[in-house]
Amino acid sequence: MREGGYSDPKGVWGELSSGSCESFAQSAEAEPAEAPAPSEPARRGGHRALERKEVAFPQKRALKEGRTIAFADQSGFYLLPMVVRTYAPVGKTPILKENLTRDHLSAMSAITLEGKLYMIEQERSFKGEDAVRFLKHLMRRIPGKLLVVWDGSPIHCGGAVKDFLASGAASRLQLEQLPGYAPDLNPDEGIWKHLKCVELKNLCCESLAELKVELLRKAKERLRHKRDVILGCIRQPGFEV
């Protein structure tokens, strides 16, 4: 029984172990990642390479069950442009004019081992109900059983998601949680970096409507045709494709 009175369907909700991939794949139950001792926080960065190598991921079990594996995450896109270096005439510094506002688009995406990209967006921050809407979106687009791997954000493990699983989604959907404080282990982080620093670099939009067109109708579609980039995001943390 988890905090809040909800119980998770057996085998549906797990947390990635820090053990070996082989031992985790053969295990029926997920083990929580071991937390560092109070005296070790300053050394955590030194363990990153080891963590990349030893973080267990139940690929064999998921593939054996015929599940499609998807890595998911969410991010925000503001009107303030992602400024990167560019060429300009000598003595003429390029000037970007932008609107300083807190208005933004929130986007949630997932990528699969086949190099496919799925995304939804909205003009407000995501809540638990929106995470459920995204899971439904994936289940409509991806046939058969599905394994979604994402971080431990409260919207990913709140009551809305648990209720959704308990209502029958658990028959097709399984969720796995990445270790805490390890965003570099989520391949979907690379998707956000590519969109912001490559597809949308130096782009100034005057409104969220314009940003929505540039992000969803143009940048996203360009990235969907770059299967090598998506697969590269999956390989970078050490996952097999």
64-116 pLDDT, tens digit per residue, is: 888 999 999 999 998 877 888 777 788 888 776 766 777 889 999 999 999 99
Q: Is residue 228 pLDDT above 80, yes or no?
A: yes
Strands 68-78 and 104-112: antiparallel
* pLDDT-wise least confident of 14-23, 56-65, 166-175: 14-23
pLDDT value at 41 more than 50: no
- Mean pLDDT across 212-223: 89
User: 190 falls in which pLDDT band (50, 70, 90)?
Assistant: very high
Q: How far apart are the first and last CA of the chain?
A: 35
pLDDT at position 78 is: 86
User: Residues of the chain with pLDDT > 90: what percent?
Assistant: 46
Q: Which pLDDT belongs to residue 182?
A: 79
Provide mean pLDDT across the span 207-212: 88
pLDDT of residue 79: 83
Q: What is the mean pLDDT of the chain?
A: 78
- pLDDT (0 to 100) of residue 93: 80
48-57, 144-153, 206-215: the lowest-pLDDT one: 48-57
219 touches 199 (CB < 8 A) = yes
Question: Tell me, what's the pLDDT at 98?
Answer: 66
Q: State percent of the chain over pLDDT 70.
A: 73
Please tell me the predicted confidence (pLDDT) of residue 94: 76
Lowest mean pLDDT among 2-6, 150-154, 192-196: 2-6
The yes-or-no verdict on residue 142 having pLDDT over 60 is yes
Most confident by average pLDDT, 50-54, 98-102, 111-115, 235-239? 111-115
Say whether pLDDT at 201 is over 60: yes
